[in-house]
Chains A and B, each alone.
Chain A
Amino acid sequence: MSCQFLLLLLLSVGVSAVEVQRPRGVPLSKRQFYEEGKPFTCLDGSRTIPFDRVNDDYCDCQDGSDEPGTAACPNGSFHCTNAGFRPTFIPSSRINDGICDCCDTTDEYNSGATCQNTCRELGRKERESLQKMAEITKEGFLLKQQLIHEGKRGLEDKKAKLGDVQGGKKDMEAKVEALRTVKESAEQPEREAKERHLKAWEDQKALIQKEKDSARMAEVFLELDDDADGFVSVPELLSHSELDPDADGSFTEAEAQGLLGGVDKVDAVAFESMWSNVKEKYMSESNADTPAPEETSREEINEPVSDNESDQYPDDDIPEDEDDDDEEDEDDDRDEHDYKTPPTARTEEKKDDDEGAMPPYDQETQNLIDGKNRVIVIETCKQILFNFGLGICFRNLEKEISFDFGPSSEFAYLYSQCYELTTSEYIYRLCPFNRVTQKSKFGGSETNLGSWGKWAGPEDSIYSVMKYEHGTGCWQGPSRSTTVKLTCGKETVVTSTSEPSRCEYLMEFTSPAVCQEPPSLEISSHEHQEL
């Protein structure tokens, strides 16, 4: 394209230099049809007229070809050579209309308009801007290659990930099942050792308890036996009103007798049989701290789930909304919420009210806990959870992969990014493949200007326009929508926004991803040099 026009540029310069004679308004390429002095045949072949009727300010040919240099034909066109700039055709209605259209002023040869020849200036400017553009294109295109590379890799990764999951639920379940088995078998020796240790500890605890109880009973017997006659009698019991079985405030003798098993007094041996009725209620006269202090034994074995486990989720997978319904505003909140609330750490809260701590594991058990099996268990658990997480974000991943990120995934990098532009009134936010929003600079809620719809460029460059649709509804109107026009640029930025029609927004957006391969630059710049 660019080459072609440069070629024309070159030609035209040549032409003006040589000043090839031809009727006004005729391009060099058609010169041969206008031969001085010879009858002229309309280019559509419709008729032949004397040559002096070419450009005689009267339209003889239906196709307008006899008046290339006057405004006589309604459908004619005039060729401006525009030496120093770009040659062009203008409708012949613009010849001598008092408005300078051709930069070489040739269209206003008889209107009195004072036109300046601006071709060289325009040419210079255009070359500058072309050069600039070419540079941008070049750099942009390089960046694009990178983007393509990254995009492809990212996509492959994701596809692979998805493939894992997509391998089918069965695969995943089987995998999880297998992992569970691995986990369980890896846990087996450890669990057994721990159980053994625990059982031993509990047996020992029971024994100690029993001894303690007997000692206390003896102690209480002695305390109750006020007269130290070796018997606990009814009167002796009555002094301990807390022992009143129906706790009605009057501890009768009959009740005391009942406690003693129907007799008036019991000896230490017989006391043993009534001990269970007494021990809970009995208050030591010395207020000795009889109940054992409650102690929590810290469970050393933690479940493998911890805060940092969430680190195992791939960052860019988890935060994506799992819901693709386009409710506005809430989305973000929910996302944030998801972020900020980590999976709850489940700490074992197993309490032991026995006094004394469980003795440390024996070396063998400890080895099991610290050993390879334990590592396997943790890793396996992680994998199970990872697979589980993949399941959760399966939809997101699938969604992401289903996006059309361009023929070479060059637009993939825009995914999950947002770009802002602040105008005098609003902050506009474009989150490619997601949505466009507008928010007043002075506060207020966000307005959805459309959610990702489709690529909507013309057929030959479908990836030059993005369409975001079904935004917040307009009062008495359609729902808001945004057209994003992409142009090549080194940076990814929103350069302008406007609202050409009510509720139909237009955004200009530059990105390296739309940069086309520059035409062989060396030739091009070489030709520029010649100009």
Chain B
Amino acid sequence: MIYSTAVVQLMAPLLVVGLALCLSGTWAVDKGNFKTCEQSAFCKRQRALKPGESPYRALLETMELTNTRLTLQLINDNNKVRLLLELYRLQGNITRVKINELKPLKPRYEVPDVLIREPTTEPLSVLSQDENGVVLSLGVESQRVIISARPFRLDIMEGSDVLMSLNSRGLLAFEHLRMRKDTFSYKVTSTVASVWDNIKRTTKEEEEKVEDGMWEETFKSHTDSKPNGPSAVSLDFSLPGVEHVYGIPEHADTLRLKTTDNGDPYRLYNLDVFQYELYNPMALYGSVPVMVAHSPQRTTGIFWLNAAETWVDISSNTGSSETPQTDVRWISESGIIDVFIMLGPTPKDVFSQYASLTGTQSFPPLASLGYHQCRWNYNDQEDVKSVDAGFDEHDIPYDFIWLDIEHTDGKRYFTWDPHKFATPKEMLQGLMDKKRKMVAIVDPHIKVDSNYKIHNEIRSLGFYVKNKDGGDYEGWCWPGSASYPDFTRADMRAWWASMFAYDQYEGTMENLHTWNDMNEPSVFNGPEVTMHKDAMHGSWEHRDIHNLYGLYVQMATAEGLIQRSGGVERPFVLTRAFFAGSQRIGAVWTGDNAAEWDHLKISIPMCLSMGLVGISFCGADIGGFFKSPSTELLVRWYQAGAYQPFYRAHAHLDTPRREPWLFGPENTALIREAVRQRYTFLPYWYQLFYRRDLLVHPVVEEGARGVTAYLPGKDEVWFDVHTFQKHNGAQNLYIPVTMSSIPVFQRGGSIIPRKLRVRRSSTCMEHDPYTLYVALNLQRTADGELYIDDGHTFNYEKKEFIYRKLTFANKVLSSVNLAPDAKFTTDSWIERIIVLGASKPSKVTLKTADGQEKQLEFDFNASMSVLTVRKPGMNAGADWTVTFQ
């Protein structure tokens, strides 16, 4: 697909900024509400294991190799428990390693629904084998896997270089499922059922130590009954030559991950953290267990497919004289080890390898790339109307206005407050008349109320998550007592989706989209403000699926929006909780941030981190959710947000109003300009989904008079998109700034299509003409793309789009069809071509497909070397060439 995961590449230049962030954080989360590794029994247990000789041994004689699958048993010499290792070579330079118990007492959870399909395997072959190990060929560029038997260890080699080693520090640990020794069933089993097995085990088995927290664990007032006992898994990875690792969002931390030797590991456990603190490894709302390891030579990735609570330790020998190396270690509370090793070698390769497993960013409706106006809460229809009118009055474009929880009838989702939103269709029609849209919130906690249809149906269908005793799980959330639908069930999700039908969700229209909040899930009175781990999803514990819950909620919701349109319209659904694969569904935001400069700064690495692991449609609440921003901060946030993928202002209920026009005409103008810039680039954002040609250095310091941006690329040139000033690459550039400045540079060698006629919403700009910004590189060439479709349906899947390659070479700019079999027509035309870094031509000639030639008028600014071609006028979907003689 043309809109690959390359969003990262849009974000990549921002990397500069992310790394330059200073480390300071002062904000107050109640840390006591959340566990440290020490307070999480399995983490404490696992972390207590120190590197050393692994007790695991590969039983080479058990090796079986079919064409594409290798299996091999591992044995723990301490307790004789056997594991089964599976190794696959996957298409696209990926190696998959799965480790499970050979004969678990009961099945262990394997994460479904995250991989887009069962990955395509490729042949494996044995290169050599002896009693110490096996060497397998991975089929590409002398890549091999060496399996060492004693102790078990796995090395992935390319030539003579080790790319990655597994269990090299001996930290593979797999807590096998076991009977509780003081229970009746254990005794029965041990005396009758598998006598032989037990005899075999106990012959040389060390008596398993029963530690605190193995069979029951209490945190604050909450007890986790842990009926299955210990079940953690852990594995270490060594990355020779690597000094920088990224990813494993979501954390409010720098883009580059820090070593965790002197503190807690990075935690992945979807949590509703009230007033989160910056620059620490605490868990936040979402989890993507993917890490990217980068060195100048190579980029690789690790995708640890496990949805249970997970901790990631990072250590590094940086500073020592040895070859740099980073060691990481993953610890999960339950499930199995299922890890995808993405071998790059370039960052782009890793991104597409990961995309081949979990999918690419969903193609959003064009309008959702516009500006979103949100607040907890717009009080009533009148309020919505007047805010909408405010945008017109102040000539600021916007596409979506949002309603938070107060719009419902007593926090019963799928309903409207009968007084404040008595005629929602009227309101939606009013917005539609202006080609604008709305988002209303639907959270997954369902008010326990026998007069509430949704609750009654879910209960009678048995769709609620169950507590450990088998009753419907109940917790406390916005509506008071609430139950939580079991979104892991496909039938539940189908039912949920059906609730979005226009005849079910009354008062809705096609311009109403959805927002899923609180889907970690947030349970106000639960342990760590989430669900009890011993709650049950069918036969699985919440412990096993926790990090998946939010993804499922968004998945079911998006499916609902698709279905209500008969499968035609692309959905827009925003989520707070997420997991690997969430990118396929919709947008994500960084949750409840605060109106502070540090939060503006952190929004950049937070979204970049997500972008690196596929979730590129990310944004932070403009202005900050909690507290009230200074005017300067608000303006700077609008300016920075204009260049982040998801652009939404949001504010807490208790904060004063902050619609863009409430801060005096001067600031209104600054915000207007920022939003308008966003809109001129809409064609580019849209087709980007994305490219690499813009570098943005937002101003994130209070009172800043200038910023220093690193312009990368030794042989690159960069053009300031506002002044057209040319700068050389590979330099730190000091850029003086005023309140109106948003330093943005276009890379020489790129062509960016823009629409300069900014209107009140993106939909209003549909038929408007394009201006092509051709920025020449040192070789005086440039290229780019132009993608156009209807902006809101899935018809692009039926080849209804225009996709063209724009190339400037040898003084000729041409538009060539990249998708000749695709069909789409547009009214849009090319109104202007601006060539940056140009020399003055004597004439400019347009040649269209029918062979006709036409002289074009142009204007040349010699001092800036900017050539502006006036009104060439050809249709944006046509073949043409423009020759500069």
Chain A residues with CB under 8 Å of chain B are: 56-58, 60, 71-72, 74, 91, 93-94, 97-99, 111, 424, 474-477, 498-504
Which chain B positions have C-beta within 8 A of A71? 757, 759, 768
Which chain B residue has the least Cβ–Cβ distance from A474? B654
What number of residue pairs across chains A and B have CB atoms under 8 A from each other? 60
Shortest 4 CB-CB contacts between residues of A and residues of B: A97-B764, A58-B871, A477-B654, A501-B657
Q: How far is the CA of A500 from the CA of B657 in the complex (A)?
A: 7
Given contacts A58-B870, A58-B871, A98-B435, contact A499 B379 (CB under 8 A): yes
CB distance from B308 to the nearest CB of A (A): 35
Which chain A residue has the least Cβ–Cβ distance from B764? A97
Which chain A positions have C-beta within 8 A of B756? 74
Q: Is the CB of A93 within 8 A of B657?
A: no
B831 on interface, CB distance cutoff 8 Å:
yes
Which chain B positions have C-beta within 8 A of A58? 831-832, 870-871
Which chain A residue has the least Cβ–Cβ distance from B383? A500
Other-chain contact of A99, B435, B676, B831, B870 (Cβ < 8 Å): B435
B653 on interface, CB distance cutoff 8 Å:
yes
Q: Is the CB of B759 within 8 A of A94?
A: yes
Which chain A positions have C-beta within 8 A of B382? 498
B840 on interface, CB distance cutoff 8 Å:
no
Q: Is the CB of B758 within 8 A of A74?
A: yes
B656 on interface, CB distance cutoff 8 Å:
yes
Which chain B positions have C-beta within 8 A of A475? 654
B569 on interface, CB distance cutoff 8 Å:
no
Which chain A positions have C-beta within 8 A of B657? 500-501, 504
Q: How far is the CA of A456 from the CA of B434 in the complex (A)?
A: 34
Q: How far is the CA of A38 from the CA of B433 in the complex (A)?
A: 40
Which chain B positions have C-beta within 8 A of A57? 831, 871
Which chain A positions have C-beta within 8 A of B768? 71
Given contacts A58-B831, A498-B379, A501-B655, contact A99 B433 (CB under 8 A): yes
CB distance from B287 to the nearest CB of A (A): 30
Which chain B positions have C-beta within 8 A of A501? 655-657
Which chain A positions have C-beta within 8 A of B765? 97
Q: Is the CB of B379 within 8 A of A93?
A: no
Which chain A residue has the least Cβ–Cβ distance from B656? A501
Which chain A residue has the least Cβ–Cβ distance from B870? A58
Which chain B residue has the least Cβ–Cβ distance from A475? B654
Chain B residues with CB under 8 Å of chain A are: 379, 382-383, 395, 419, 433-435, 653-657, 676, 756-760, 764-765, 767-768, 831-832, 870-871
Q: How far is the CA of A57 from the CA of B655 in the complex (A)?
A: 44
CB distance from A55 to the nearest CB of B (A): 13
CB distance from A89 to the nearest CB of B (A): 12
Which chain A positions have C-beta within 8 A of B383? 498, 500
CB distance from B625 to the nearest CB of A (A): 14
Which chain A positions have C-beta within 8 A of B419? 424
CB distance from A386 to the nearest CB of B (A): 50
Q: How far is the CA of A56 from the CA of B768 in the complex (A)?
A: 14
Q: Is the CB of B764 within 8 A of A98?
A: yes
Other-chain contact of B656, A91, A98, A99, A504 (Cβ < 8 Å): A504
Q: How far is the CA of A177 from the CA of B657 in the complex (A)?
A: 61
Which chain B positions have C-beta within 8 A of A97? 435, 759-760, 764-765
Which chain A positions have C-beta within 8 A of B831? 57-58, 72
Which chain B positions have C-beta within 8 A of A91? 395
Which chain B residue has the least Cβ–Cβ distance from A96? B767
Q: How far is the CA of A56 from the CA of B857 in the complex (A)?
A: 14
Which chain B residue has the least Cβ–Cβ distance from A93? B759
Which chain B positions have C-beta within 8 A of A503? 654
Provide 28 A-B residue pairs closer than 8 Å at the C-beta atoms, listed in order of the A residue. Answer: A56-B871, A57-B831, A57-B871, A58-B832, A58-B870, A58-B871, A60-B870, A71-B768, A72-B757, A72-B831, A74-B757, A91-B395, A93-B395, A93-B757, A93-B760, A97-B435, A97-B765, A99-B434, A99-B760, A111-B767, A474-B654, A477-B654, A499-B379, A500-B379, A502-B653, A503-B654, A504-B656, A504-B657
Q: Is the CB of A502 within 8 A of B655?
A: yes
Q: How far is the CA of A476 from the CA of B767 in the complex (A)?
A: 48
Which chain B positions have C-beta within 8 A of A111? 767
Which chain B positions have C-beta within 8 A of A502? 653-655
Which chain B positions have C-beta within 8 A of A424? 419
Q: Is the CB of B764 within 8 A of A99?
A: yes
CB distance from B818 to the nearest CB of A (A): 28
Q: Given A93-B759, A502-B653, A503-B654, output 15 extra A-B contacts at Cβ < 8 Å.
A: A57-B831, A57-B871, A74-B757, A93-B757, A93-B764, A97-B759, A97-B760, A97-B765, A99-B433, A111-B767, A424-B419, A477-B654, A498-B379, A498-B383, A502-B654
Q: How far is the CA of A57 from the CA of B654 in the complex (A)?
A: 47
Which chain A residue has the least Cβ–Cβ distance from B378? A500
Which chain B residue has the least Cβ–Cβ distance from A56? B871
CB distance from B864 to the nearest CB of A (A): 16
Q: How far is the CA of A499 from the CA of B656 in the complex (A)?
A: 11
CB distance from A70 to the nearest CB of B (A): 9
Q: How far is the CA of A501 from the CA of B653 in the complex (A)?
A: 7
CB distance from B395 to the nearest CB of A (A): 5
Which chain A residue has the least Cβ–Cβ distance from B386? A500
Q: How far is the CA of A475 from the CA of B760 in the complex (A)?
A: 38
CB distance from B648 to the nearest CB of A (A): 19
CB distance from A196 to the nearest CB of B (A): 80
Which chain A positions have C-beta within 8 A of B758? 74, 93
Q: How far is the CA of A56 from the CA of B769 in the complex (A)?
A: 13
Which chain A positions have C-beta within 8 A of B764? 93, 97-99
Q: How far is the CA of A357 from the CA of B760 in the complex (A)?
A: 100
Q: How far is the CA of A111 from the CA of B768 in the complex (A)?
A: 11
Other-chain contact of A476, B395, B434, B654 (Cβ < 8 Å): B654
Q: How far is the CA of A111 from the CA of B434 in the complex (A)?
A: 14
Which chain A residue has the least Cβ–Cβ distance from B659? A500
Which chain B positions have C-beta within 8 A of A98? 435, 764
Q: How far is the CA of A94 from the CA of B657 in the complex (A)?
A: 27
CB distance from B383 to the nearest CB of A (A): 7
Q: How far is the CA of A286 from the CA of B702 in the complex (A)?
A: 110
Which chain A residue has the least Cβ–Cβ distance from B382? A498
Q: How far is the CA of A229 from the CA of B215 in the complex (A)?
A: 121
CB distance from A379 to the nearest CB of B (A): 59
Which chain A positions have C-beta within 8 A of B395? 91, 93
CB distance from A94 to the nearest CB of B (A): 7
Which chain B positions have C-beta within 8 A of A504? 656-657
Which chain A positions have C-beta within 8 A of B676? 74
Which chain A positions have C-beta within 8 A of B655? 501-502
Q: Which of B655, B656, B657 has the most CB of A within 10 A?
A: B656
CB distance from B501 to the nearest CB of A (A): 28
CB distance from A496 to the nearest CB of B (A): 9
CB distance from A170 to the nearest CB of B (A): 51
CB distance from B734 to the nearest CB of A (A): 30
Q: How far is the CA of A195 from the CA of B327 in the complex (A)?
A: 115
Q: How far is the CA of A402 from the CA of B25 in the complex (A)?
A: 50
CB distance from A110 to the nearest CB of B (A): 10
Which chain B positions have C-beta within 8 A of A74? 676, 756-758
Q: How far is the CA of A4 from the CA of B676 in the complex (A)?
A: 35
Q: Which of B382, B676, B768 has the most CB of A within 10 A?
A: B768
Q: How far is the CA of A503 from the CA of B653 in the complex (A)?
A: 10
Q: How far is the CA of A504 from the CA of B658 in the complex (A)?
A: 13
Q: How far is the CA of A500 from the CA of B654 in the complex (A)?
A: 11
Q: How far is the CA of A503 from the CA of B654 in the complex (A)?
A: 8
Which chain B residue has the least Cβ–Cβ distance from A60? B870
Q: How far is the CA of A79 from the CA of B278 in the complex (A)?
A: 52
Which chain A positions have C-beta within 8 A of B433? 99
CB distance from B654 to the nearest CB of A (A): 5
Q: How far is the CA of A424 from the CA of B380 in the complex (A)?
A: 14
Which chain B residue has the least Cβ–Cβ distance from A71? B757
CB distance from B671 to the nearest CB of A (A): 16
CB distance from A62 to the nearest CB of B (A): 12
